[in-house]
Structure 1
């Protein structure tokens, strides 16, 4: 189980969340009505909040304290989600070891005329001309 999965585990009752966030139960239910949070439910229909839910509630409280209204809070979350989606789409995959080796070899052996290199020090002794 990775860290993100652990952050999503429903662990806290509404009473505990009230103490952690300083919000009333009514405020928490209100934010749930506006779909700003989606806590899990037990078989007995009690709300169970995760660390991620608590963090969202604290962000909501912070933004409201700064003077944002509910529309502003929703807009802030929409912007965060779109930024997160953009970052995921821009993320490059990691190069393989073979690609890194070839890149290093090309850099060390073939680009000697450049005054600046991506590498500091002399690694070319590890590569021999063939």
Structure 2
């Protein structure tokens, strides 16, 4: 589900808007678009951008990153049963809320996702 603007994704990934657009131009990510044609990124898009950044930091070039991500996409997904190590969505959302509220007080994420969470 697309939730994040490009500005928020920049803060989450440490990438510049230009880098993110470049990766989109090369087909490494395909963010959703709003009716106004603005990019909207999902958690999966953010995770993929982090993978791209990691591969580039390891010394891979764009062609190698594309191959690596294509190979990963082609691998069958594990159908293993859930274990106690898997974190349920509710815990992920609680963690995200705590992080956003802590950062909201420092002003780092002011105006971003933190506005969806109210102090309780």
- With normalisation by structure 1, the TM-score equals 0.58
Structure 2: runs of 5+ lacking an equivalent: 80-120
Deviation per CA, 1:1-55: give whole Å up to 9, x if none.
Answer: xxxxxxxx00000000000000000000000000100000111110000000000
**Aligned match of 2:19:** 27
- Which structure has the bigger radius of gyration? 1
CA deviations over 1:77-110 (Å, ceiling 9, x no partner): 11112222xx57xx7xxxxxxxxxxxxxxxxxxx
Give the alignment of 1:4-83 within 5 angstroms: 9-83=1-75
Task: List aligned pairs for 1:76-115, cutoff 5 A.
Answer: 76-84=68-76
RMSD: 1.3
* Cα deviation 1:44-78 (Å, max 9, x = unaligned): 11000000000000000000000000011001011
TM-score (norm 2): 0.63
Return 5+ residue gaps in structure 1 as ranges. 1-8, 92-130
Aligned to 2:117: none
Q: Which has the higher contact order (CA 8 A, sep 6+)?
A: 2
Deviant stretches of 4+, over 2 Å: none
SS in 1 for 2:56: helix
